[in-house]
Structure 1
Amino acid sequence: MAAVMSADMDNTEKVVTLLDDCRQLNLQVLPPDINRSEYQFTVDDQNRIIYGLGAVKGAGEAALSILVEQRNKDGAFKSLADLCKRAGTQKVNRRVLETLIKSGAFDSLGGTRRAMLEYLPEAMRMAEQYNRNQGTGQADLFGGLFGGGVAESTPEATMPEREEFPEKERLRLEKETLGLYLTGHPLDEYQSEIAGLGSRKKLVDIAEDDSTKYRREPVMLAGLVASVRTQHTDNGKRAFVQLDDNTAYYEAMIFTDTFTQYGNLLEKEACVVLEGTLDTDQRTGKTRLRVEKVHNMQSVRENFLRKLVLRLEEQQVQRGILPALRQRLQPATTAGSFPITIEYFNAKARADLRLGGTWTVPLDDAGVRDLRQLLGKENVSLVF
C-alpha cells in the first residue's frame, strides 16, 4: 500500500481512495512527520504507513531532500529554530516551511501550528544571523540561542504559547497543503447522524461502480462540497458538484430545477446530503445519480429525525443540570415537532421519560453542539 500511494502521490483523488482502503484493511497511516517521513510513503517497524513528505503540496522535492539529508546526517530536528538553522533559507524558504507547518509535518517539534506560524519569521531571522556569523567567525546577541550551553537545549524558549487552531481551521489548512483531510474530516462531526440514514451510501461505493448491472434505486449521499461548477442552459443553470466523504470523490450533476431550489446550500466546504435516484441508462450502460433534493445537516434533522434521546444520570441532576436543560427547551411548532425522551439512570433503576409534545430544542449545528456540551456528547442521541 505504501508503494502504491507513493506511485500515485500526485493524484489526490486516488490517494483518498487508497487511504480508505487502508482503513478497511486496518492499516494505520501516520501523518507526515519531518523526523520520520521520507520523500515517499514508507513503513515503520510496527507495520504502520508513514505519510510521504512528497505528497505535501507546494513543498518541492529540492527543499524536502535538503531537510531529509540534514536529518539523516545530524539527527532528528529538536525544534523549529534548530530546523531553520540547519536547513538554511535559500531552497528551504518561508513558503516551504509554512506549508510544512500547516500540513502537520512539524507537530513533533513542539508547539502548536498557530504558534509555529507566528514564530517562524523570527526563527528564520535568527537562523540567518547565526549562519552568517558562523561564516565570518563572529558572535552576537543570538549566539547563545544556537551556540551552546543551556540555551542550545531549549531553543524554543521565546516561541509564544498559543492555542491550536480550531478544528475546522486546522483541517482546512491540512486540506490546503495535503489536498485531502488526513487526521479528521469535517463530516466526522455528523457521522452518528449520517449513519442513521437508511439508504445512505459511501461515495466510494458509487465511484467504483462497474455498471455491470442495471440499477434504479433511491439513495442518499453525504459529503463535503469540494467544488461547484455551474453551466448555463436554455432553462437556466445546472451544476456539477464534487463531493468528498473521505472515502472517495464523486461528481453529481444537478439539473436546473433542483439547482434553482437548492443552489444556496451548495457552498464550498458545506456538509450536505444529496437525495435522489441512481439510474442506469439502458442505452449507454452508465449509472448516474439524479439529484432530487439537497439537505444541509439542519434540514436532515428536521426532515428525518424520529426522536431525540437525552441521557441523564442521578449525579448530573444532583449537580443542578435540570435548570440549564430547561433553558434550552423551546415551544414546539407542529411542523418541527419530534419526540424528546430522557433516559434517566440511578444506582437502582432506569426510566424513560417522554417530554410533552409542546417542547423542542434547536436543531441547527450551534443548538446541537450546545446540548452535547451541556450533557456530554455520548448522552445526546439523534435517532433517525
Structure 2
Amino acid sequence: QVVVTQYEMHAIEDLGLLKMDFLGLRNLTIIEQTLKLIASIHDIYLDISTIPLDDAKTYKLFQRGETTACFQFESGGMRRYLKELKPTELEDLIAMVALYRPGPMELIPSYIRRKHGQEHIQYLHPKMEPILKNTYGVCVYQEQLMQMTRDLAGFTMPEADTLRKAVGKKIKSLLDEQREKVISGMLRNEIDPRTAHAIWDLFPPFARYAFNRSHAACYALIAYQTGWLKAHYPTEFMTAVLAAESTDIEKIAFFVEEARAMGIEVLPPDLNESLADFTIVSPMKIRFGLGAVKNVGTNIVDAIITERMRGGKFPSLTDFAERVRHKDFNKKSLESLIKCGALDTMGERNRLLKNLEMILEYNREAQRTRLGGQESLFSFTPAMQEVASLQLAAAQEAGRRERLQWERELLGLYVSAHPFQDYAERFKEKNVLALKDLTLDMRNRMVAVGGLVSGIQKKITKAGDPMLFVKLEDLTSRTEILVFPKMLAKNPAVWQEEKVLYIRGRVSDKDGLPKILCEEAVEII
C-alpha cells in the first residue's frame, strides 16, 4: 500500500520544504516511440540527449515554420514568427518559448528586428550588457532580472528572489520596500541616481513579462529534439505522432494531412499489413492501424494480429473467417473493417457487406467445429479448400463517393482518394487559390477559393442571429470560412457537408491563422 497526502503549496514553502511539479508530456512518448522505430528499422540506437544542438537541417525546418507536431511550436502565430525570426541556435528557441505568451508577445517583433540588426540595442548601464546580450537587450527571463539586482545592486540570491516575487505579485508595500533597497544598492555601487531610477523603472514591466528561463530551456530542448527527429527521420516521427493521437479522429486527420504535405503516403488499413497502431511499410509509406478504425475494439484487433503472427497472412476471406476466433468477430466490427477498406484485397466492399451474415455464420460454424475438437472438413488439401470457400452472392459495386464517405466516417478522413479530385480541374480553370497558398500576408485581400465542406459549426451572435464556422478543404489543405448572418440568410441551403463550393471573401488573420470572411458562395454541381 502507498500512503498519499496533499498540502497547499504556500504552506509547504513556508515550512521550508521543496515543492516540485511533475508534468506528463505526450511528446516524450512520441520521442521514445520514434527512437524505437529508428532502432527496429535502421538498427541505429540513438541517445536523444546526445544529438547535436547546432544541426543546420533542424534549424531550416524551424525557419520554414514546418513545426506541426513539434512541441510548443505548432500554432499558426508561432510558425509565422519563426519564419520572420529564422532561428539559428537553441537560444532563439528558448526565447520564443518564453516570449510567445500574452503580454511578452508584444516584444517579439523587437527581438526579431534586433537579431537581424534592424533595431539599435542600447543598455542603460554597461553591467547590463553581459546579462541581456543573449536576448539582444530584451529582458526575457526572471533569471536576468535577478542577475541585474545582484550585479548592479549587490543583492544576494534570496534577496533577488524576494524582489522577483514582490514585483510579480504587484504588492505596493513590498514594491516600495524593494524599490528603496534596489536604488540604494545601485547608489552604493557608484551608479548615478538618474540611471539608478531609470533602471528601476524597467523592473516592474520586466517582472510582469519575464519567464522562468530553466522552464523555457527544458521546453525548447524538447521542441528541438522533436524538430530534429522530424527533419532526419520524418516517416518514423510522423508514425509515432499518429500512434500517439490514434484515439482522436480530428487530430489523426490533421496529422495525416501534415504527413502528406511532407511527401509521406498514408495508406488505408489492411488486414494483412496493419498492426494495432500506425505502421511503416516502406521508407515514405505509413499504413493505418486497425485500432484507428471506429467501432473496432482492441480485443478483435489483438485477435486478428495474433492469429496472423501465428499462422501467417490470410490468403482469402474463407481463411480469415475460419481462423479468427473471437466473440467480437461480429457485425459491427466486420462491417467497419469492410467499409474502411481493410478487406479490399479479399473482395469488393459492397459485395462483402451484402454477404455479411453469411461470413459471420461461416465464422460461427468454424468456431463450433473447433470447440467440438474437429479440424475443418476442408482443410486437408488446396482442392478441398477451394470447394469450401465462401460463395458470395453478387452485388452492385459501391460508388466511389460512397466508399470515400465510409472512409471519412470510420477513419476521420478520406484516405484512398478525395471527392474534390473530380472538381480540381474545373477550379484550375477558374484560377482559384489553392488553400495551401492562403497566408497571413493576404490579410484583408479579396480571394477566391474552392473546396469541399467537411464540417459546419453553428453559433448564435449576441444579436441572436445564426452564423456558421465552416471547414473547407481541397487537395492541398483546409481552412475555416466565417459565414456571418447576412451572408447566411442569402442562401442557407448551400451550407451543407459534402457540398463542393466556390467561395469569394476577404482574408482574416484571427487567432494567427488565415481564414476567409465569406462574401459569396456558389455550389458546384
- Relative to structure 1, the CA distance from residue 250 to residue 61 in structure 2 (aligned partners, 3 Å threshold; closer, same or farther) is farther
Partners of 2:333 and 2:263 in 1: CA distance: 32
Partners of 1:63 and 1:29 in 2: CA distance: 23
Aligned letter for 1:37? Answer: S
After superposition, residues 1-384 of structure 1 pair within 5 angstroms as: 1-45=238-282, 47-109=284-346, 111-137=347-373, 144=377, 150-153=383-386, 155-202=388-435, 204=436, 206=438, 215-233=443-461, 234=463, 236-280=465-509, 288-297=515-524, 365=525
Question: Which of structures 1 and 2 has the larger relative contact order (alpha carbons within 8 angstroms, sep 6+)?
Answer: 1
Q: Deviations over 1:129-165 (max 9, x none)?
A: 22212322469xxx65567562314654511233420
- Relative to structure 1, the CA distance from residue 127 to residue 286 in structure 2 (aligned partners, 3 Å threshold; closer, same or farther) is closer
* Residue 287 of structure 1, CA deviation: 5.2
SS in 2 for 1:195: helix
Partners of 1:214 and 1:28 in 2: CA distance: 30
The 8 Å contact of residues 273 and 295 in structure 1, kept in 2 or not, is answered as yes
* Residue 12 of structure 1, CA deviation: 3.2
Aligned letter for 1:167? Answer: R
Partners of 1:90 and 1:18 in 2: CA distance: 33
The 8 Å contact of residues 130 and 146 in structure 1, kept in 2 or not, is answered as no
Q: Give TM-score scaled by structure 1 length.
A: 0.67
- Relative to structure 1, the CA distance from residue 252 to residue 150 in structure 2 (aligned partners, 3 Å threshold; closer, same or farther) is same
SS in 2 for 1:200: coil
- Relative to structure 1, the CA distance from residue 150 to residue 163 in structure 2 (aligned partners, 3 Å threshold; closer, same or farther) is same
Q: CA RMSD in A?
A: 2.7
Partners of 2:400 and 2:327 in 1: CA distance: 32
Partners of 1:131 and 1:286 in 2: CA distance: 55
Aligned letter for 2:367? Answer: N
Structure 2 unaligned runs (5+)? Answer: 1-237
The 8 Å contact of residues 271 and 296 in structure 1, kept in 2 or not, is answered as yes
- Bigger Cα Rg: 2
Higher helix share: 2
Structure 2 partner of 1:374: none
The 8 Å contact of residues 89 and 124 in structure 1, kept in 2 or not, is answered as no
The 8 Å contact of residues 242 and 252 in structure 1, kept in 2 or not, is answered as yes
Between the two proteins, what is the percent identity of the paired residues? Answer: 27
The 8 Å contact of residues 220 and 274 in structure 1, kept in 2 or not, is answered as yes
The 8 Å contact of residues 279 and 289 in structure 1, kept in 2 or not, is answered as yes
Structure 1 partner of 2:71: none
Tell me how many residue pairs correspond in the alignment. 287
Q: Deviations over 1:331-369 (max 9, x none)?
A: xxxxxxxxxxxxxxxxxxxxxxxxxxxxxxxxxx4xxxx
Q: Deviations over 1:212-257 (max 9, x none)?
A: x682211223222223233344363222222233544433221111
SS in 1 for 2:413: coil
Partners of 1:193 and 1:165 in 2: CA distance: 25
SS in 2 for 1:229: strand
Partners of 2:282 and 2:455 in 1: CA distance: 39
Partners of 2:437 and 2:250 in 1: CA distance: 14
Q: Deviations over 1:250-283 (max 9, x none)?
A: 33221111001121111121111221001346xx
Q: Deviations over 1:270-327 (max 9, x none)?
A: 111221001346xx86754211011111xxxxxxxxxxxxxxxxxxxxxxxxxxxxxx
Partners of 1:5 and 1:77 in 2: CA distance: 26
The 8 Å contact of residues 317 and 390 in structure 2, kept in 1 or not, is answered as no
- Relative to structure 1, the CA distance from residue 278 to residue 155 in structure 2 (aligned partners, 3 Å threshold; closer, same or farther) is farther
- Relative to structure 1, the CA distance from residue 154 to residue 269 in structure 2 (aligned partners, 3 Å threshold; closer, same or farther) is farther
* Residue 86 of structure 1, CA deviation: 1.7
- Relative to structure 1, the CA distance from residue 275 to residue 6 in structure 2 (aligned partners, 3 Å threshold; closer, same or farther) is same
- Relative to structure 1, the CA distance from residue 36 to residue 134 in structure 2 (aligned partners, 3 Å threshold; closer, same or farther) is same
Higher strand share: 1
